[in-house]
Amino acid sequence: MVRAKITALGCYTPPRILTNQDLEKMVSTNDRWILERTGIRERHIADPEIATSDMATEAARCALALAGVDPSEVSAIIVCTVTPDMLFPSTACLVQNNLGVRGAWGFDLVAACSGFVYGLTTAAHLVSAGTHRKVLVIGSDTMSRIIDYTDRSTCILFGDAAGAMLVEGVDQRDDGAGFIDFVGEIDGSGGEYLKMPAGGSRRPASQATVEAREHYVHQEGQQVFKYAVRKMYEASAELLGRNGFTADDVALLIPHQANRRIITATAERLGLKDDRVVINIDRFGNTTSATIPLATRDAIQQGRLRRGDLVLFAAVGAGYTVGTSLWRWAY
């Protein structure tokens, strides 16, 4: 048996910052409301010439350099995104070409804010099956391209970023570090509450869809909020319970960063104190598929994540999609 381990991580955040004070000049909002309701202070926004594949490539290069892995060794590339450069070719193909990877498999994975957790889980299974040895999982989203900056209920939430992890197959006769288990669920009954209505086969782009602002994110925030609070907890508790762990065993919960209140409610219900939860939403906002690698990077930089630690990744996103993934940290 081969065990899947995360062996490296790289991130890219565009340099330009959009603060709450900047948003005060754009829509009827204020710093206090945003901070109290979401926990966000600022987010990074990509310049017009930068697309999702560019950020994904930078993050992937960073992860490969850290691992000392040459692009020629990569056997699969999974790009988790809801903001591909275009509908096809897939962003994975564009990234493969940018990196100079040859002979690899790859595809885009659409699971919105749960994308990275789904990508990690998929990579772990490819590696454990023995079919792929080194899999790049990349979460990259240029959310600013699908945000309506006249809609105060959504434009304060999102930012742009990319993060990548290298998942490698390592001989199991070792320290037990690596992938343990996952819980995933999709629930399309929530599809209407968070979506980009047009641009697909049901409502292709037309003058009418553009005029109706249907190529932007539309969200019924409270519906999504309630679902996220419930499912982040339930999926996390199920995953820990069925593997014989309690909250006391968890060194770090690394949750998707959509709203500080969702994260703290989940942690409270699980019985996890603040020092075992990673929150960096204040600096990046909701970067969709990139939040989990960005939060993991911060945890590593702050010395909060060490080899052998039990790490729980958890996310809920549009769809609805729910994903939790349990790992013993490997480096």
- Contact positions vs ligand UT7 (CB under 6 A): 29, 33-34, 37-38, 113, 152-153, 156, 194, 221-222, 224-225, 228, 258-259, 262, 286, 317
Of all residues in the shown chain, the one whose CB is closest to ligand UT7 is 221
Q: Which is nearer to ligand UT7, 38 or 122 (CB)?
A: 38
Q: Which residues of 210-227 are buried (b: 16+ CB within 10 A; e: fewer)?
A: eeeebbbbbbebeebbeb
Per the CB < 8 A criterion, the answer to whether 317 and 113 are in contact is: yes
Q: Which is nearer to ligand UT7, 6 or 258 (CB)?
A: 258
CA 100-288-35 angle, 5° bins: 140
Considering the complex, what minimum distance in angstroms separates the CB of residue 112 from ligand UT7? 6
Considering the complex, what minimum distance in angstroms separates the CB of residue 71 from ligand UT7? 31
Q: Which is nearer to ligand UT7, 67 or 224 (CB)?
A: 224
Q: Which is nearer to ligand UT7, 183 or 194 (CB)?
A: 194
HSE (CB half, 13 Å, CA atoms) of 308? 2
Considering the complex, what minimum distance in angstroms separates the CB of residue 313 from ligand UT7? 14
Does residue 132 carry a catalytic annotation?
Answer: no
Task: Using the Cα atoms of residue 40, residue 42, residue 48 and residue 54 in order, give the sign of their dihedral.
Answer: negative
**Backbone φ and ψ of 169, nearest 5°:** -85, 125
Q: Which is nearer to ligand UT7, 122 or 287 (CB)?
A: 287
Catalytic residue, from 20, 259, 280, 286: name it. Answer: 286
Catalytic residue, from 20, 44, 62, 256: name it. Answer: 256
Catalytic residue, from 113, 132, 259, 280: name it. Answer: 113
Considering the complex, what minimum distance in angstroms separates the CB of residue 139 from ligand UT7? 12
Distances (CA, A) of 40 to 256, 295, 302: 14, 14, 20
Does residue 97 carry a catalytic annotation?
Answer: no
List the beta bridge partners of residue 17.
44
Per the CB < 8 A criterion, the answer to whether 13 and 161 are in contact is: yes
Considering the complex, what minimum distance in angstroms separates the CB of residue 42 from ligand UT7? 14
Determine the Cα–Cα distance for residues 243 and 247; give it in Å rounded to an integer.
12
Q: Enumerate the active-site residues.
A: 113, 256, 286
